[in-house]
Amino acid sequence: MTRSKRETARTYEAPVADDASWLAALSGVEAIESVEERGTDELEAVYYDTDDLRLAGASATLRRRTGGTDAGWHLELPMPGDSREELSAPPSEVIPDTLRDLAVSRVREAELRPVVRIRSTRRIRHLLDAAGTVLAELSLDDVRAERLRATTTPASWTEMEVEFLGDVDSALMGRVEETLREEGIGRAGHSSKLARALKVTGAGVPLVPHARRETVVPGSAADEVLRYVERQARTLVDIDPAVRRDLPDAVHKMRVTCRRLRSILRSYRSVLDREVTDPIREELKWVGGELGAARDQEVLVERLGSRIRALPPGLLLGRVDARLQEWNVTRTNEARQRTLDALRSPRYLELLNSLTALTEQPPLARKAEHRPEKVMVKSILKEYERLADRVAHALELSPGTERDEALHQARKAAKKTRYATEPARAALGKPAKRLGKRVKGVQKVLGEHQDSVVARPALRNLALEAHAAHEPSFTWGLLYGQEQAAGDRSERELPDAWARASKPRLRA
């Protein structure tokens, strides 16, 4: 069983050994009323990584700890700021499959092996509020580190860590740091024990993914586009463990990231060679498709559940809520398995490798070194023209299946136009942001329409299932009518939304 918790900690240089006056200074800082001794622990942790230290390069760690209150396996993944998510599993002789699976997006096909051993004698103090609640844990560690892949002289040092518990109070963190600084205790020059251990034991230099490219001219169109691609590629890697754990909204975020990457690689073919990027786009399309079943089901159930909850009790005839849940379980399980099969496939890992290679050795096209303003304006306007054509075509059609499909194609064009503006915001400023915002309004209207289109056949099938089970189908028919009305309303709203997004001054 894997457990998860959020850790927020800061590491400091060790205070002077024979001077404990700084401890008294912490009492009275914000809500801290007292400092309490909690004894000493002897800890040992063996850190695992690939030969080229991919986990360390991605600011993640995997260790097997003995001693203390949390013996076992720990996988730490980075979060914004000073926070990290720690996923833990019980002690075992080998790396648990659950943690290995969650590290795959960072290590890919490489083998995980022991790298360094770190032993710590930890003296613990708790920072308490007036009610005796622990606000933070202060640890003074005497550290000994040794490299495991070669015989070297062990390194040793002393450091201090302050880990804040519960909901992170940024004001408390800031005041504690300010107080320590006033007492002559500054932040450590390393990000973690492992980072320092790798350096002082000579265990190696971590492989940092998406390293900067010497071949790219700073400030060029390629520079701006690749910065955006790098961010999205990192997001794909970072969100991967959350998708595997089935966390809320994780599938949606990964799917959107795939769409963004696909769109940017298409919009900026004049910057990055399509002979390299088109195959990557196809693989991103495949991943997005495998995620699509899970995300579409998630959206549909949320939508129908919301409509059911909004109905007066007198209009809920039969096993409406129960039938929806039963219908959802089977479809969700199938979609979930499809997602996991995709993420566990060699094809997916090869895609991640291709994205890394794309940013580290970019296939520059003819306009890569041009200034971004002209190149990006041309790409954005080209996407806008496609959007304008599709909206015009959809509005010319009579209501029905053909128009529904045309509106769906217009929605996809709106997304591509909006995404094309995102990497251009640094170079083009507010105009790119304004156009993206207006196009997003069109996308929202078209998205509501498409959701209603998708919901209707599902409601019809649920009505047929209810009828076959001799249950009332009235409620399903009522919901179908609501979805039909929602689709009609979106079609009426589209001309105004498009008028706001198609003003010439937005593209001037």
DSSP H or E stretch at residue 375: helix 372-396
**Which CATH superfamily does the domain covering 3-200 fall into?**
Hypothetical Protein Pfu-838710-001 (2.40.320.10)
Whether residue 387 contacts residue 439, with contact meaning beta carbons closer than 8 Å, is answered with yes
Q: In sequence order, what DSSP letters do the residues of 184-210 get, joined into one string?
A: T-PBPSSSSHHHHHHHHTT------TT
pLDDT, tens digit (0-9, with 9 covering 90-100), for 192-207? 899 999 999 988 888 8
Rg (CA), the chain: 28
pLDDT, tens digit (0-9, with 9 covering 90-100), for 127-148? 999 999 999 999 999 999 999 9
Q: In sequence order, what DSSP letters do the residues of 140-154 get, joined into one string?
A: EEEEEEEESSS----
pLDDT (0 to 100) of residue 299? 92
pLDDT (0 to 100) of residue 110? 95
Position 400, amino acid: G
- Which fold does the domain 218-369 belong to in CATH? CHAD domain (1.40.20)
Spell out the domain ranges in the chain.
3-200, 218-369, 371-508
pLDDT-flagged residues of the chain (< 50): none
pLDDT (0 to 100) of residue 1? 66
Task: Specify the pTM.
Answer: 0.89
User: Beta strand pairing status for 155-164 and 134-147?
Assistant: antiparallel
